[in-house]
Amino acid sequence: MSSQPPHPALLIPGPIEFDDAVLQAMSHYSESHVGMPFVNTFGETLSMLRKLFQTSDPKSQGFVISGSGTLGWDQVAANLVEPGDEVLVLHTGYFADSFADCFETYGIKPTQLKAPIGERPQQNEVEEALKARQYKLITITHTDTSTGVLSEIESIAQLVHRVSPDTLIVVDGVCSVGCEEIRFDDWGIDCVITASQKAIGCPAGLSIVMTSGRALDRFKARTKPPGSYFASWKNWLPIMQNYEARKPSYFATPSPQLVHALHTSLTQILSRPLEERFQKHKEASQKIKKAIADMGLKQLASKPENQANGMTAIYLPEGMSPPEILPTLMKKGVIFAGGLHKQIAAKYVRFGHMGVSVTDPKRDDIDRAIKALKEGLEEVGYKAPNGST
């Protein structure tokens, strides 16, 4: 039995539904941020992050800082590049535009490589861009939360290593870490930024980052100090190293309760093979995508290979808008999100399928959501085309 009161299933692309034990960890009694009980909890959390990101290189380093996923962009822009540097931003939706804005704030020059809505930049386009100019780093949004478009990290990383080996590879994994495979060492990634409230399954409030030794060397070789104070690795790197070495350390007060919740969710995630977790997300995603096709609906993401496994962005039937269907779903106990990509926001909804809603066999969130969507669409007057069920 769940210890949570009855409530609608939150099936937006983050925050997601949380496990009881994770929520209970949020109520942990107050501890000193520099006392050994908490230092041990934080240290273990940082060690577990290495497993989540599949890095065993001792030169890698995780960061867990109070903030939202957005703070990860500031960490990249303020620490890994210097004013005047050129960076290449692969665009698959809203979040690349914002990441580019963030770079500009710090005096970095972003070039966006855009694809039509629902697509992702092609390998040959990326290759051409990388050959045209020397970029200090490239950013790839793994899953763009506004479109549900999935990028192919491994092949892009191979391309960068071949064509522009000095370019750091930065992955925005806010909507992918914990539900899509990321092999940090094997794929030669330099930095992944993410947040707590999506597939990691911990309430919002933590910016989570993994960096490679190469990225840290680049950081240490800066000619100017980092462009942010709160996001500065000059301030945070020794703190994270100390906590992971189980030594008390202070720059700014961490949130013991959120770190306890993250510790709990990571312990749960790592108690099973990661491949199994990714496979479960794939299976749930395929089930959802098939059901949506059966309803005669289309996704924003144009083809199976660019469709995320942790969320689905669904075009509504012609003439229907999110304010018509979302309240109907809510009445059926299911919360979806509206559109976020400015050009087409009024035409689609987003269904998040990450974490316990997918992995906990005691939950029927996904089946209920599919049923609610089908019934809800019919209630607001939609008839699936012939051949659809």
Residue 302: count of CB within 10 angstroms of its CB: 17
DSSP state of 255: -
Assigned token pair, 139? 């950013």
Does 363 belong to an annotated binding site?
no
Residue 26 in the binding site for a second copy (CB under 8 A): yes
Residue 118 in the binding site for a second copy (CB under 8 A): no
Instruction: Pick the closer one to a second copy by CB: 58 or 323.
Output: 323
**H or E element, residue 151:** none
Residue 101 in the binding site for a second copy (CB under 8 A): yes
What are the phi and psi torsion angles at 29 (to 5°)? Answer: -60, 160
- Alpha-carbon distance of 192 to 367, in angstroms, equals 32
Among candidate residues 169, 179, 175, 194, the one with its CA nearest the CA of residue 93: 175
Contact set for a second copy, span 295-354 (CB under 8 A): 335, 337, 340
Of 10-18, 44-52, 85-93, 125-133, the window that binds a second copy (rule: CB under 8 A) is 10-18
Of 202-210, 238-246, 275-283, 314-322, the window that binds a second copy (rule: CB under 8 A) is 202-210
The residue within the footprint of a second copy, chosen from 152, 185, 188, 230 (CB under 8 A), is 230
Of 18-26, 268-276, 300-308, 311-319, the window that binds a second copy (rule: CB under 8 A) is 18-26
Residue 186 in the binding site for a second copy (CB under 8 A): no
Q: Which residues of 47-72 are buried (b: 16+ CB within 10 A; e: fewer)?
A: ebbbebbbbeeeebbbbbbebebbbb
**H or E element, residue 88:** strand 86-91
Residue 252 in the binding site for a second copy (CB under 8 A): yes
- Residue 273, judged by CB atoms within 10 A of its CB (0-12, 13-18, 19+), counts as exposed
Instruction: Pick the closer one to a second copy by CB: 55 or 207.
Output: 207
**H or E element, residue 153:** helix 153-163
**Positions that interact with a second copy (CB under 8 A):** 4-5, 7, 10, 12, 14-18, 23-24, 26-35, 66-71, 73-74, 77, 101-102, 105-106, 195, 197, 203-205, 225-232, 250-258, 335, 337, 340
Binding-site residues: 350
Binding-site residues for substrate: 350
